[in-house]
Amino acid sequence: MYKKALIASLLLASTAAFAAAPAVSATAAGAPSDTAVSAAKYAVETYRNDVIDTLARLVTFNTVVDARYPSDKNPVHIAFKAALKEEAERLGLDYADHGWTVIVGLGKGSERVGIVTHGDVQPVDPSKWKKSPFVLDRTSEPGKLIARGAEDDKGPIATALYAMKTIRDRQIPLNKRIELYVYMGEESDWGPLTEFLKTHVPPQMSITLDAEYPVVTAEKGGGTVAVTIPKAGAVVPEPGASYIAEFRGGSFNTQIPEDAEALIVNAPAAIEQQVRARGANHEGMQYTFERQGANLKVVAKGMSAHSSKPQEGVNAVSMLADALAVQAWPNTVAGGVVNYLNDLVGTGYYGEKFGQIAYRDSFMGPMTFKPTVIRQLDEGIEVAINVRRPRGKTNEQLTSEIESALTDWQARRLPLANIKVGVRDPWILEGAPQVPVLLSTFSYFTGMKDAKPVAIGGGTNSRLFPNAVSFGPSMPGKKYTGHSEHEFITTKQLLLNLQMYTAALVELAK
Ligand SMILES: [Zn+2]
């Protein structure tokens, strides 16, 4: 089933033109059964505090990837798994540690329903948090549970544990075993999970708790376009000339950057005024200016977001480059970075200035294309652009269009080094049998009628499991806070998820 789904998505991805919406729409099943609804009610009445306490425990472990160890040797990951084991056993669930992957189970049988989650987290910048990102902050903002991992993906793990506990408490007869998968490398390395699934037979169908509602049946393909503006080949400015001497920003590749800064050498007052005026038009941006003799430092602050949702953030790197676009800058290294960004990216995020690459799909939406990290290297400055692409072009076509835009730019401006272009296929799953049940569960508990499958820009481990679709944890239209420096889940959402996961699991496993 896995291979079939993969081949189908590859075929779809390689077909050039898509005019119509795909056949992924599914009609909702009838309302959830009384058993499912009463179990959901019991779950929220019985475990509303416990689920938060378990979340509080899980977020205390900074399970970010550590370059010193693989996950199965990482002491923090080992401690996190020990806590998870205690929680599982306390709740009467079985537990198996497979190294990078943990499975928490309920019931017996070869017919199974999976729940796909992950226990690792993205890096944080603690200076941007009111309290420690690794202590669940329940008080700073009433109604919000703030911590790294609260939404992505420890909140969903805690919720799944109590949904399973509820089914156990209620002694609901199951035809299928329920298995909660907690993978420890989702944010950094899918290789060990891919390897694991070569010998471990996964459940016949799964729900992934790592994206949004109602149901996600397609995910854009990720990618990166990284280039270095090299010192070799850059312009040496004339004495006394104005030029950009420094440009930096961003934190990691899957985050819309919140911070950026630049240094203009020999910046007369007129330039400062122009940059200030241009920056003042940037909604959501804050600029601070610091005079250093004849030089001017410009510090830009935007708003971080998951890189699959650029519209939910304000990209400090793109905006700062635009604020500086008040004159033609010589192609020093940092000036070259600013020119590259302004020539080829601009303040949009659909790749519309980057040659002919922009396109969209009617179901999956537009390709997004946005700078995320500006890295200072010995040989120059690297600009990394994060790509999320729908179906409608082959990898070969998109790659060659990107390369030709880079070739044109180099002919006009200056040579680039270390060009790395990598784009992956999007993923589309059609005909997953659980979709109608998930849609009707979602509609019942949210009152949002006419729910339909959606496509997202992010990538989840759904694509490694057969018949896996994302079901939450965030509501459609709400800002996704995972990967941001203000990650939280509301208590209301956590408890709504508890009800929906309980009901859905009852329906799928009974
Ligand atoms: Zn995640």
Q: Which two tokens stand for residue 426?
A: 């999007």
Using the mean position of ligand 1's atoms as its centre, give its distance from the Cα of residue 396 in Å. Answer: 28
Q: CA 154 to CA 56: how far, in whole Å?
A: 9
Q: Which two tokens stand for residue 458?
A: 């992010």
What residue type is assigned to position 263 of the chain?
A: L
Q: CA 102 to CA 26: how far, in whole Å?
A: 32
Output helix, strand, coil percentages for the chain, rounded to the nearest 5: 35, 25, 40
**What pLDDT, on a 0 to 100 scale, did the predictor assign at position 378?**
97
**What pLDDT, on a 0 to 100 scale, did the predictor assign at position 147?**
98
Using the mean position of ligand 1's atoms as its centre, give its distance from the Cα of residue 155 in Å. Answer: 11
Q: Which two tokens stand for residue 59?
A: 């977020």
Q: Give the bridge partners for 27, in sequence order.
A: none
SS3 call for 256: strand
Using the mean position of ligand 1's atoms as its centre, give its distance from the Cα of residue 62 in Å. Answer: 14
With CA atoms as reference, report the closest residue to 60 among 161, 154, 143, 186: 154
Using the mean position of ligand 1's atoms as its centre, give its distance from the Cα of residue 220 in Å. Answer: 15
Per-residue pLDDT of 261-313, as tens digits, reads 999 999 999 999 999 999 999 999 999 999 999 999 999 999 999 999 999 99
| CB count in 10 Å sphere of residue 400 | 14
Q: Are 438 and 475 in contact (CB under 8 A)?
A: no
Find all residues with CB under 8 Å of 172, minimum gap 6, and list them. Answer: 35, 39, 506, 510
Using the mean position of ligand 1's atoms as its centre, give its distance from the Cα of residue 71 in Å. Answer: 16
Secondary structure of 281-343 in HEC code, one letter for each residue: CCCCCEEEEEEECCEEEEEEECECEECCCHHHCECHHHHHHHHCCCCCCCCCHHHHHHHHHHH
Using the mean position of ligand 1's atoms as its centre, give its distance from the Cα of residue 152 in Å. Answer: 5
Q: CA 503 to CA 441: how far, in whole Å?
A: 7
Q: Are 146 and 136 in contact (CB under 8 A)?
A: yes
SS3 call for 365: strand
Vertex 308 angle, CA 398 and 137, to 5°: 160
Using the mean position of ligand 1's atoms as its centre, give its distance from the Cα of residue 76 in Å. Answer: 18
N-terminal to C-terminal alpha carbon distance within the chain = 22
Using the mean position of ligand 1's atoms as its centre, give its distance from the Cα of residue 16 in Å. Answer: 30
Using the mean position of ligand 1's atoms as its centre, give its distance from the Cα of residue 153 in Å. Answer: 5
Q: Which two tokens stand for residue 89?
A: 């056993």
Q: Is 427 left (phi over 0), alpha (psi -120 to 50) or beta?
A: beta
Q: Are 445 and 37 in contact (CB under 8 A)?
A: no
Using the mean position of ligand 1's atoms as its centre, give its distance from the Cα of residue 458 in Å. Answer: 9
SS3 call for 397: helix
With CA atoms as reference, report the closest residue to 419 among 189, 230, 222, 221: 230
**What pLDDT, on a 0 to 100 scale, did the predictor assign at position 16?**
32
What residue type is assigned to position 264 of the chain?
A: I
Q: Is 139 left (phi over 0), alpha (psi -120 to 50) or beta?
A: alpha
Find the largest Cα–Cα distance for the chain: 81
Using the mean position of ligand 1's atoms as its centre, give its distance from the Cα of residue 509 in Å. Answer: 24
Using the mean position of ligand 1's atoms as its centre, give its distance from the Cα of residue 296 in Å. Answer: 39
**What pLDDT, on a 0 to 100 scale, did the predictor assign at position 27?**
52
Residue-averaged pLDDT of the chain: 93
Per-residue pLDDT of 19-76, as tens digits, reads 333 333 345 578 999 999 999 999 999 999 999 999 999 999 999 999 999 999 999 9
Q: Which two tokens stand for residue 330?
A: 């010589």
Q: CA 287 to CA 300: how far, in whole Å?
A: 5
Using the mean position of ligand 1's atoms as its centre, give its distance from the Cα of residue 372 in Å. Answer: 18
Using the mean position of ligand 1's atoms as its centre, give its distance from the Cα of residue 137 in Å. Answer: 20
Find all residues with CB under 8 Å of 407, minimum gap 6, and list them. Answer: none
Find all residues with CB under 8 Å of 342, minimum gap 6, and list them. Answer: 321, 322, 324, 325
Rg (CA), the chain: 24
DSSP characters over 145-159: EESTTTTTTHHHHHH
Find all residues with CB under 8 Å of 96, minimum gap 6, and list them. Answer: 102, 103, 105
Using the mean position of ligand 1's atoms as its centre, give its distance from the Cα of residue 154 in Å. Answer: 9
Block mean pLDDT (10 aa), the chain, length 510: 31 34 50 97 98 98 97 98 98 98 96 98 94 97 98 98 98 97 96 98 98 97 97 92 98 94 97 98 98 97 94 97 97 98 98 98 97 98 98 97 98 96 96 96 96 93 97 92 93 98 97
Residue 197: alpha-carbon gap to chain centroid: 23
Q: Are 260 and 248 in contact (CB under 8 A)?
A: yes
**What pLDDT, on a 0 to 100 scale, did the predictor assign at position 3?**
29
Using the mean position of ligand 1's atoms as its centre, give its distance from the Cα of residue 210 in Å. Answer: 5
Q: CA 399 to CA 225: how far, in whole Å?
A: 9
Using the mean position of ligand 1's atoms as its centre, give its distance from the Cα of residue 118 in Å. Answer: 7
Using the mean position of ligand 1's atoms as its centre, give its distance from the Cα of residue 316 in Å. Answer: 23
Using the mean position of ligand 1's atoms as its centre, give its distance from the Cα of residue 168 in Å. Answer: 27
**What pLDDT, on a 0 to 100 scale, did the predictor assign at position 199?**
97
Model-level pTM? 0.84
Using the mean position of ligand 1's atoms as its centre, give its distance from the Cα of residue 139 in Å. Answer: 24
Using the mean position of ligand 1's atoms as its centre, give its distance from the Cα of residue 485 in Å. Answer: 14
**What pLDDT, on a 0 to 100 scale, did the predictor assign at position 20?**
36
Using the mean position of ligand 1's atoms as its centre, give its distance from the Cα of residue 385 in Å. Answer: 20
Using the mean position of ligand 1's atoms as its centre, give its distance from the Cα of residue 473 in Å. Answer: 10
Vertex 504 angle, CA 500 and 505, to 5°: 120
DSSP characters over 477-488: TSPP-TTSSS-E
Using the mean position of ligand 1's atoms as its centre, give its distance from the Cα of residue 402 in Å. Answer: 28
